[in-house]
Structure 1
């Protein structure tokens, strides 16, 4: 997952209060209730603020990826209990085995080595954005960013080349909205992020016309759900992989994306 840094403190185990809260969100979701059986619910953790893909608003956990996972739950006939947490806490909860799985994860070699990566559930166009009046029109490669100050989000992974390039300055923020505010204030020259995330933040601030997305994307990346390689969780991973494949084939994922992103 591309996620914000969140708290740097090591969290205690997730308590029942957190699960009761997330379970109570189900009746308020903008999608129909998923199958309710006698089997224990899958507990799936995700970043609590990553709009428009997943975020808590008005006591509801909602967004594109929440809709995709809820549709997969209906397809599989299982129950899913969402656990929204700040990025680092969600990662710790996943790695400690306190939840069954974690979404949405950007692909890295280490993640594919360490975890069972299921998907992709969708793809993201990772872009650079600047002010509408900026002289920066486009870029052809990482070398074109030399000497720039670029707004990033703490804890996010972009591309290996971008992550390690030494010839520009990264200005970290807690989320895309804060990164965009720095661009509007002139503290950075460019910001990097998923195009829908940047546009969502710009719309929230009423500043869509003040920014411009560079034509060439930094990358187009798939997003995955991760499971620890333990027998019971590998079974869940296999079920979800089959479900996402069906949803890709019959157009349900495209329909969710279109419903949420068509402007």
Structure 2
């Protein structure tokens, strides 16, 4: 038989349980953002053990946790991801190179991380990081060359505008590197971390070289629509990304993937 004290405690517990929503309702009511990303883009975003993982995904997950936001990732081929975001009301698209056109159209938030764009050459190529026999240090050094790029990618405004080399576009980095190995291009251009992972996955470590000297460095951003919701969410994320860079969290994530702070 309940004592008065036990009865009061039981009534109190019942009251608290009625006032506190169960976990599944709390999860359902959490603010959620829908984000488009490039699929199979090691080490930045990729599926592993049934989960979407990678450097960019982990950085955004950390920021979202701090904001109390849930993220729903939609990995797609890059050109489809661009089109899907541009023609929808979904929240964001990430891994973008900043351009003036994109900044006018979307709210560009970031950078999530920096990327280092490097040349990849065949092992027997005369290109080297030293001054002899041939240098490949500057954009102008590509003059007259056949250059492997990924279709739909924006690299860097000066690179994208340049008309003094021949672009050979491919559907992805793997195809671009296979063309390089077959001699269909002289050099392939890609992010350093991505190049290392793709070369390793293809077993081409002895056939291809990643030159150490970058052609350029650039940030990678996440875009939101320029409407009230997008501006609000983008502003909140910008403040959190700034904090993650300042306190060393982004650098720590990059190191865990075996990359430096400018690794991309």
**TM-score by structure 2 length?**
0.82
For 2:144, the equivalent position in structure 1 comes to 147
Of 90, 94, 98, which residue of structure 2 is paired with 1:103?
A: 94
For 1:174, the equivalent position in structure 2 comes to 171
Q: Distance in 1 between matches of 2:30 and 2:230?
A: 14
Q: Distance in 1 between matches of 2:102 and 2:259?
A: 31
For 1:30, the equivalent position in structure 2 comes to none
Alpha-carbon spacing, 1:229–1:262, altered in 2? closer, same or farther (3 Å): closer
For 1:225, the equivalent position in structure 2 comes to 222
For 2:209, the equivalent position in structure 1 comes to 212
Q: Distance in 2 between matches of 1:207 and 1:54?
A: 22
For 1:31, the equivalent position in structure 2 comes to none
For 1:16, the equivalent position in structure 2 comes to none
Give runs of aligned pairs for residues 4-15 of structure 1, distance below 5 A: none
Does residue 123 of structure 2 align to residue 132 of structure 1?
A: yes
In the alignment of these two chains, the number of paired residues is 229
Give runs of aligned pairs for residues 1-263 of structure 1, distance below 5 A: 36=27, 38-137=29-128, 138-262=135-259
> 1:44–1:101: 8 Å Cα contact kept in structure 2?
yes
Q: Distance in 1 between matches of 2:100 and 2:126?
A: 36
Tell me, which stretches of 5 or more residues in structure 1 are unaligned? 1-34
- The CA deviation string for residues 100-144 of structure 1, in whole angstroms up to 9 with x for no partner, is 011011111111111111111100001111012211123243332
Q: Distance in 2 between matches of 1:224 and 1:36?
A: 28
Cα offset for 1:189? 1.1
> 2:97–2:221: 8 Å Cα contact kept in structure 1?
yes
Cα offset for 1:165? 2.1
> 2:193–2:259: 8 Å Cα contact kept in structure 1?
no
Q: Distance in 2 between matches of 1:163 and 1:65?
A: 24
- The CA deviation string for residues 84-114 of structure 1, in whole angstroms up to 9 with x for no partner, is 1121221122122331011011111111111
Alpha-carbon spacing, 1:87–1:262, altered in 2? closer, same or farther (3 Å): closer
Cα offset for 1:211? 1.8
RMSD: 1.8
Tell me, which stretches of 5 or more residues in structure 2 are unaligned? 1-25, 129-134
For 2:11, the equivalent position in structure 1 comes to none
Q: Distance in 1 between matches of 2:156 and 2:230?
A: 28
Secondary structure in 2 aligned to 1:208? coil
Higher mean displacement: 102-111 or 136-145 = 136-145
Cα offset for 1:262? 4.4
Secondary structure in 2 aligned to 1:255? helix
Secondary structure in 2 aligned to 1:155? coil
Q: Distance in 1 between matches of 2:235 and 2:105?
A: 16
Aligned structure 1 segments of 4 or more residues deviating by more than 4 angstroms: none
